[in-house]
Amino acid sequence: MGKGILIEGLKKRYGSGDTAVDALKGVDMQVAPGEVVGLVGPSGSGKSTLLKALGAVIEPTGGRMTLGGEVIYDNGWKVKDLRALRRDKIGFIFQAPYLIPFLDVTDNVALLPMLAGIPNAEARKRAVELFKALDVEPRAKAMPSQLSGGEQQRVAIARGLVNRPPVILADEPTAPLDSERALAVIRMLNDMARKFETAIIVVTHDEKIIPTFKRIYHIRDGVTYEEAGEGRSFD
């Protein structure tokens, strides 16, 4: 489906003049379809800035980004409707689940296909299919507040996956989970990546999951360094 993520010389400068901060100083990164890579780095190194630029919620100040084979940024946005881009091409998974409290579990997930114009029944069917894979199907009719933290996070993951985006950006997705559940989430992301040809970036400094990545990008002072990971499998 997708053609992965390609980032070339991406720059982001906050502010201008004396107070300018160069958060990204020329980031290069490549994630193949079906691959899950880790992005680790100390606080203030530019991880969130990179995710925001990739997620098209802040505008970079230079470089090039290609998502799913489409150049979305080349020293300027190449797509007009950034919301539609986010809706159709990018799945977001946050540190906190951030579910919509007034929608039940199914509609929290089905909302995304609905926003893309898919009929309600079809959208819900897609959501429920994912719940089977994520083992939250029995809670499909529950409200988010009735779920445990781990269940909420799995619903949030389903939301990130439901539109089958070519790219998933996950920011500390396992922070609130114990090590068993954290590993289960990573396994699931790997399964999804393989199944739907999704390119996934996981920002983390969770020691429990770092050994699972085959490739890891380290980021420091706005520059990335690639490193081979242990790629430990989980059986």
Partner 1 sequence: MISLAGRDIMHAWGKFVFTGVGLGLLIGITLSMAGIYRGMVDDAKVLLDNSSADLWVVQKDTLGPYAEPSSIYDDTWRSIRGMPGVARTANVTYLTMQVRQGEHDVRTMVTGVTAGEPGTPGWPPYLVAGRQITRGHYEAVADIASGFALGDRLQIRRNHYTVVGLTRRMVSSGGDPMVFIPLKDAQEAQFLKDNDAIHQQQRRTAANPAFNRPQVPGLLDAVIASQSINPYVNAVLVQIESGHRAEDVAESIRRWKRLTVYTRSQMEEILVGKLIATAAKQIFMFLVILSVVSSAIVAFIIYTLTLGKIREIAVLKLIGTKNRTIVALIMQQSIALGVIGFVVGKITATLLMAPIFPKYVLLEPLDSIIGFFAVMVICILASIIAIRAALKVDPAEAIGG
In the complex, the residues that contact partner 1 under the rule CB under 8 A are 48, 51-52, 55, 57-58, 83-88, 92, 94-95, 98, 100-103, 107, 111-112, 114-116, 120, 143, 159, 171
Which of 15, 76, 101, 117 is in the footprint of ligand ADP by CB under 6 A?
15
Beta carbon of residue 57, minimum distance to partner 1 (angstroms, whole number): 4
Q: How far is the C-alpha of 33 from the C-alpha of 25, rounded, in Å?
A: 25
DSSP state letters, 96-164:
S----TTS-HHHHHHHHHHHTT--HHHHHHHHHHHHHHHT-GGGTTS-GGGS-HHHHHHHHHHHHHTT-
C-beta of 59 vs 227, nearer to partner 1 = 59
C-beta of 105 vs 184, nearer to partner 1 = 105
Q: How far is the C-alpha of 57 from the C-alpha of 80, rounded, in Å?
A: 13
Q: Say which entry of Mg ion, partner 1, ligand ADP, none residue 102 contacts (CB below 5 to 8 A, set by partner kind).
A: partner 1
Q: Say which entry of Mg ion, partner 1, ligand ADP, none residue 170 contacts (CB below 5 to 8 A, set by partner kind).
A: none
Binding residues for Mg ion (CB under 5 A): 48
149 touches ligand ADP (CB under 6 A): no
C-beta of 92 vs 213, nearer to partner 1 = 92
138 alpha carbon, distance to own chain's centre: 25
Q: How far is the C-alpha of 129 from the C-alpha of 111, rounded, in Å?
A: 15
Beta carbon of residue 48, minimum distance to Mg ion (angstroms, whole number): 3
Q: Say which entry of Mg ion, ligand ADP, partner 1, none residue 2 contacts (CB below 5 to 8 A, set by partner kind).
A: none
Name residues contacting ligand ADP, limited to 38-77 (CB under 6 A): 41, 43-49
Beta carbon of residue 191, minimum distance to ligand ADP (angstroms, whole number): 27
- Give how many residues touch ligand ADP by CB under 6 A: 12
CA angle 149–161–42, rounded 5-degree value: 65
Are 173 and 94 within 8 A, CB to CB? Answer: yes
Q: Which two tokens stand for residue 226?
A: 């690639």
Query: What residues have CB less than 8 Å from 136, skipping those under 6 apart?
Result: 105, 147, 151, 154, 155, 158
Name residues contacting ligand ADP, limited to 79-138 (CB under 6 A): none
C-beta of 104 vs 229, nearer to partner 1 = 104
Location of structure tokens 């242990």: 230
DSSP 8-class letter at 38: E
The C-alpha R_g of the chain, in whole angstroms, comes to 17
Beta carbon of residue 159, minimum distance to Mg ion (angstroms, whole number): 21
Binding footprint of ligand ADP on the chain (CB under 6 A): 14-15, 21, 23, 41, 43-49
